[in-house]
Amino acid sequence: MDFKECRRVSLDQDSIQPNAQNANAQYAAYHWTLYRMQRLKMRSQAHQISLIYLPISNQEAEWLKEDPEVQQILSESQLYFIGQKPESIFAFEENIYEKVKRTKKIPFKIELGELSDEGEINIEKLISTRNLNLSETNLKVELGKKLIRIWDIGLNDAFQEEKRGEYNLLEWYTTEKMITDRSFEPNHLEGLNNYKSFTCYHLHYIGISKKEDSLKRLVIKPHDKRLRILSNEHPLEYGSRLTDELILFFFNIESIEIKQHELEDNIFDFGKNELEDKIRIIADAEKAFVKILDTQYNVVKFKKYPISYDGLYNSSVERYSYSINNDLTFITPNNKIRGKRNVVYAQSAFDFIAIDKKDETVELIKIE
């Protein structure tokens, strides 16, 4: 864009939500904001939903719901998805513990139906990231189909089950945590080059909780749609339990505001940004995703969206977008949306939902 023209776009940096880890990725909607734009003055917003915690199975949610640390993290989430995919497991070679002791590496496979990919945990690099010295640690490694745990039990101690809570848990992995962490490219995780093949989910339901957090709404209290899904759906893989295939996603939302105005205008004439009311944005996001994806267990389809009483329709924002800032793909019988984590600055590398309030249009813009 030629900024010498008699218009300009102003990115309101103060409007970036404090928890935004990738505000530049949100700026991808900048391209869409300019696309077909003929209005010289406009207020636009770009919103990204990001995982606030790793995806967890319905079974794992029951185990974790009383954990104070998990409760604290999920208290920041008010938007959640319920999806499903075949159960994934870890697989290890024979004599794995001897190899770990000798090489200080944990080779593994993740298997999901016919899909399989190999990876490796480099224990020396992991310990380095924890600012520890390998010679000053006494490691205990636990390897199973559903869980990997690495403990430092102290130089003068032998592992005792009754003292488990006293030991230093250096790292742990479920298959979902391993796949999610791999997208952040930590230096102690090697391989898993095809990890994105494991990030496709059949999406059943999209929900929000305006008055409490997602954990309380979805897990701690009886949730009608979660119970209906457990009652009505079938496992995708023979021999699996539905409670292990059902995956819960807890999201936060990160936002940025873009203001376009003529050069001679005073930017302050626009007034303050319209990002303070986060509940209104979350309510609007739910409607946008439900309308586009048409999830089966969402009875209300929001067919008149973007018209709504509690979303962004009554705001001064004219165009806005929603995207997913994680390597996740959600599939429904009628549509599919692909997210991407940490896209390059100002590059639209993910699918996004585009809303033009004036035209009352809602589109899914697909990149691939």
Q: Would you call 343 helix, strand, or coil by DSSP?
A: coil
For the chain, percent of residues with pLDDT exceeding 70: 81
Q: Would you call 244 helix, strand, or coil by DSSP?
A: helix
Cα 223–chain centre separation: 21
Residues 115 and 346: their CA atoms lie apart, in Å, by 33
Q: Please report the pLDDT score of residue 14 as a whole number.
A: 38
Q: Which residues of 63-85 are buried (b: 16+ CB within 10 A; e: fewer)?
A: ebbeeeebeebbeebbbbbbbbb
Q: Which residues of 98-120 are buried (b: 16+ CB within 10 A; e: fewer)?
A: eebeeebbbbbebbbeeeebebe
Residues 10 and 17: their CA atoms lie apart, in Å, by 17
For 26-53, write each residue's pLDDT tens digit: 444 555 555 544 455 678 899 999 999 9
- The 8 Å CB, 24+ separation contacts for 279-283 are 279/78, 279/210, 280/310, 280/311, 280/312, 280/315, 281/47, 281/253, 281/255, 281/312, 282/78, 282/79, 282/208, 282/210, 282/253, 283/208, 283/210, 283/308, 283/310, 283/311
Residues 289 and 251: their CA atoms lie apart, in Å, by 13
> What is the DSSP-derived secondary structure letter of residue 147?
-
* Residues ≥6 apart with Cβ < 8 Å to 364: 292, 335, 337, 351, 352, 353, 354
> What is the DSSP-derived secondary structure letter of residue 299?
S
* Residues ≥6 apart with Cβ < 8 Å to 116: 91, 109, 110
> Burial, 5: exposed, middle or buried (Cβ in 10 Å; 0-12, 13-18, 19+)?
exposed
Q: For the chain, what is the mean pLDDT?
A: 85
pTM given for the model: 0.86
Q: Please report the pLDDT score of residue 355 as a whole number.
A: 96
Residues 138 and 102: their CA atoms lie apart, in Å, by 14
Q: Which residues of the chain have pLDDT under 70?
A: 1-41, 155-157, 162, 164, 261-272, 343-348, 368
For 283-297, write each residue's pLDDT tens digit: 999 999 999 999 999
Cα-based distances in Å from 18 to 14, 55, 214, 279: 9, 23, 20, 16
Cα 81–chain centre separation: 10
